[in-house]
Amino acid sequence: MACVCEASRYVLYLTAQHPVFPPDVHLADVTHVVLAFMKSSSFIGNSPSTWEPFTSVESVRAKFPKNKKVNVMIAIGGWGDTNGFSAAAASQMGRKAFAENVKAMLDFTNADGVDLDWEYPGGNGEDYKQITNSEKSWEVEAYPKLLAEIRTAIGPDKIMSAAVP
């Protein structure tokens, strides 16, 4: 059996609650930075004229040497943020609008990609006490449709990652 390994990826999550960069010596191996989190409900309906993550993509890139390529991504969702994803995934029109808004946000911020942090379709996140799994089981089939719509909207050159159970 042959095994092909890709180059290692080192991801740094920055959150508005803890926007702390490690010392420069630890940044040397970082390949991706994920700015977390934008609310999933921000991507429903009409696209806002501006997108405001807690810090700019450019300010993150400035933390690294000019000759180092670091991919900066923006995370949507996070633990307890399921409602926007659920609303978007419920219909083809909702999925398309959500995906187009993700593309608009990536274009506006100049980010290299998106991290979709829906925890978890059909499995409940923090709302597990209010909404039973049976009420959300439809999300399991809708989830890959939402991902496919986002991939189509952002194109093959943007990075897309997702939290999965």
Round to whole Å and give the CA distance between 104 and 84. Answer: 17
Tell me the one-letter amino acid at 21.
Answer: F
Q: What is the CATH classification number for the domain harbouring 133?
A: 3.20.20.80
Instruction: Answer yes or no: is pLDDT of 5 > 60.
Output: no
- Determine, yes or no, domain membership for 45: yes
Instruction: Answer yes or no: is pLDDT of 8 > 80.
Output: no
Task: Quote the strand ranges of the chain, DSSP E.
Answer: 11-15, 32-38, 71-77, 113-117, 159-162
- Determine, yes or no, domain membership for 16: yes
- Determine, yes or no, domain membership for 1: no
- Determine, yes or no, domain membership for 101: yes
For residue 71, what are the domain limits? 11-162
Instruction: Answer yes or no: is pLDDT of 115 > 90.
Output: yes
For residue 76, list its beta bridge partners: 38, 116
Round to whole Å and give the CA distance between 49 and 101. Answer: 10
User: Domains in the chain: how many in total?
Assistant: 1
- Determine, yes or no, domain membership for 3: no
C-alpha torsion angle, residues 115, 124, 98, 101 (rounded to 10) = -40
Round to whole Å and give the CA distance between 106 and 103. Answer: 5
- Determine, yes or no, domain membership for 138: yes
Mean pLDDT (whole number) for 129-151: 88
Instruction: Answer yes or no: is pLDDT of 20 > 80.
Output: yes
pLDDT (tens digit per residue) in 86-111: 999 999 999 999 999 999 999 999 99
pTM to 2 decimal places: 0.90
Mean pLDDT (whole number) for 105-134: 84
Mean pLDDT (whole number) for 145-151: 98
